[in-house]
Copies of this chain bind each other. A is one copy, B any other.
Amino acid sequence: MAVGNLTQDELDGIYAFAVDLGRKAGNMLMERVEQRISGGDALSQQFEEKDNAVDIVTQTDEDVEVFIRKAIHAQYPSHKFLGEETYAKGQSREYLIDEHPTWCIDPLDGTVNYTHIFPMFCVSIGFIVQHRPVIGVIYAPFQDQLFSACSGRGAWLNESRQLPLVRRPAVPPMPANAPAQCIFACEWGKDRRDIPDGNMHRKIESFVNLAAELGGRDGKGGMVHGVRSLGSATMDLAYTAMGAFDIWWEGGCWEWDVAAGIAILLEAGGLVTTANPPDDPETAPIEDVRLGSRLYLAIRPAGPSATETGRQSQERAVRAVWRRVRQLSYTRPGA
């Protein structure tokens, strides 16, 4: 399957390069952790604060981004490059991705986890053509979990096991009473301002609606099977692609946090749209997510039942979430 001006052969070559690059970059992250451990200094990783005390960056983020950028530039000098740390140093907050082949990467997602050596940190490498993420590589080196996908080639765990962890014909539909029986993944995020009806409080209200017993919360109670927060949007998406999480709902992260994960989720058969409920959640069209929108709702791959296609069961789950969540306010120019 060709994508843009790229043949499947060319895509396959880029995919192999991206997987190799992901492993190397993840190994760099892990080497730094090993150095901290063997130096008896594991919890003293230095970091600098960006927007606030929980928005941090380490020298490792910057070093690994430079490594990835140089490797891509040497191999594919005509491709564009967008990395979290490069972007953070730029003046513009515009959405910079256009129709050209573009690498969109986060050298270290879960930086807070990384500084504390909680294993949920990873490198995220996405490749985008004509605004569509077509290749994704996510590598969490502490756990040696490499998630990857290429358009037309399937989605994989450690390059050997097909994602989701089920054979395609047997993927179950979303539960009939979703969000009940679903694992719901979400993040508290970096916006902790205690503003009445601000983002933090709207998020929490939404989480509580999804968690509360059926019939509770004025009928909004969703009684999800579990609420999980890992501190990494990228890992959330990877686990949703794998089917370990059923629903991921998030506002506030950026395109480099999700580009690779969206490529993997879509190739695995998942759905991703906006987190913000439209005025009529029951009938509004369910549109493809805008990569730079900072508002994401992902549903795991789902197969058909006797009465629904897989896509129908996913859309039912989207509407079930939209009915229970508040609109979030994360914006930017140009997206």
Contact = CB atoms under 8 A, between A and B. Distances in A.
A246 interface: yes
A43 B166 contact: yes
A172 to B, nearest CB: 5
Contacts of A242: 117
B244 A118 contact: yes
A41 interface: yes
Given A43-B166, A216-B193, A228 B230 contact: yes
Interface string A184-226: 0000100011100000110010011001111111000101111
A231 interface: yes
A185 B181 CA distance: 23
A213 B193 contact: yes
A165 B226 contact: no
Contacts of A229: 227-229
Nearest to A204: B208
B228 A216 contact: no
Contacts of A246: 116
Interface residues of A, number: 61
A241 to B, nearest CB: 12
Interface of A: 37, 40-44, 52-54, 112-113, 115-119, 143, 161, 164-167, 169-172, 180-181, 183, 188, 192-194, 200-201, 204, 207-208, 211-217, 221, 223-231, 239, 242-246
A28 to B, nearest CB: 18
A223 B165 contact: no
A207 B201 CA distance: 12
Contacts of A181: 53
A194 B172 CA distance: 30
Contacts of A208: 200-201, 204
A166 B204 CA distance: 35
A192 B166 contact: no
A119 B244 contact: yes
Nearest to A192: B213
B167 A116 contact: no
Given A44-B172, A53-B214, A192-B221, 14 more contacts: A42-B170, A42-B243, A43-B171, A43-B172, A43-B243, A53-B223, A112-B225, A113-B183, A143-B143, A183-B231, A193-B212, A194-B215, A200-B208, A227-B231
A226 B41 contact: no
Contacts of A112: 183, 225-226
A187 to B, nearest CB: 8
Contacts of A215: 194
